[in-house]
Amino acid sequence: MTTPTTPNAGGAPQLTGTLLLPESGTPELLFIYLHGVGARGDDLEPLAQAIGHYYPQAAHLLAEGFEPFDQAPFGRQWFSLQDITETNRPERIAAVVPRLIAEIEATRATFNLAPQRVCLVGFSQGAILALEAAQAAHGLLGHELAGRVLAFSGRYATLPEEPPTDTVIHLFHGMADPVVPARHSVDAGEHLVALGGDVTADVLPKIGHEIPEALMRKALERLQTFIPRKVWEQAVREAEAAESRTH
């Protein structure tokens, strides 16, 4: 089922865009898609359909950027790239992250799902915001924004000083990306590993600034097989406790 979302008149505004719901039953997971600059939410529908095939009880929100694209008469953007530099990029992103976090929280509340049941999926500018929002959320909310982030062709404005709390970060990039160089995902992955974060980084050759089938398959593989550190450590503790009781 497909339906447009609208602001919540009774509370905080929600993200707007196209909502894909399960064929039947109540959604058990929520995937929120953040598109690249100059694009529209529906551009990420092929990725949503691929993920939905394996998660039939998930809802998928193809969110629309906050502003009309200011360099063409079509498309949307989350923040302007006019005159952007490495110096002013963090400030531009920081200006929109609190709004994004608030609207993701309001959207999640309508489904009555825990944050761990939410996955943020971003491409390019959307991936940047997904990473930065997940990083900032615990300080603003006191809890995680999402259980997982799938960041395609993205980057951090500034590498974080600590890993996001209770959020698994999955980074995907093409080695031939001419827009956001793949080194950003490599550097971020190595940095988060060094900080003790839950992170994977998949960088594939002969892929540019895009989400081809090969990266979609990698994303599905990570979603289905990666075990977060906290879950693994808890399982180890339980196994050790059970073993000690038998001796």
Per-residue confidence of the chain (247 residues) as pLDDT tens digits? 444 444 444 567 899 999 999 999 999 999 999 999 999 999 999 999 999 999 999 999 999 999 999 999 999 999 999 999 999 999 999 999 999 999 999 999 999 999 999 999 999 999 999 999 999 999 999 999 999 999 999 999 999 999 998 999 999 999 999 999 999 999 999 999 999 999 999 999 999 999 999 999 999 999 999 988 777 666 566 666 666 776 5
Give the model's pLDDT for residue 237: 65
d(CA 115, CA 67): 26
Give the model's pLDDT for residue 240: 64
Give the model's pLDDT for residue 113: 97
d(CA 110, CA 125): 26
CA 118 to chain centre: 9
CATH number of 2-245: 3.40.50.1820
d(CA 184, CA 45): 25
DSSP 108-130: HHHHT--GGGEEEEEETHHHHHH
Catalytic residue list: 124, 177, 209
SS3 for 138-204 is HHHHCCCCCCEEEEECCCCCCCCCCCCCCCEEEEEEECCCCCCCCHHHHHHHHHHHHCCCCEEEEEE
How many CB atoms lie under 10 A from the CB of residue 219? 22
Task: Quote the pTM value.
Answer: 0.92
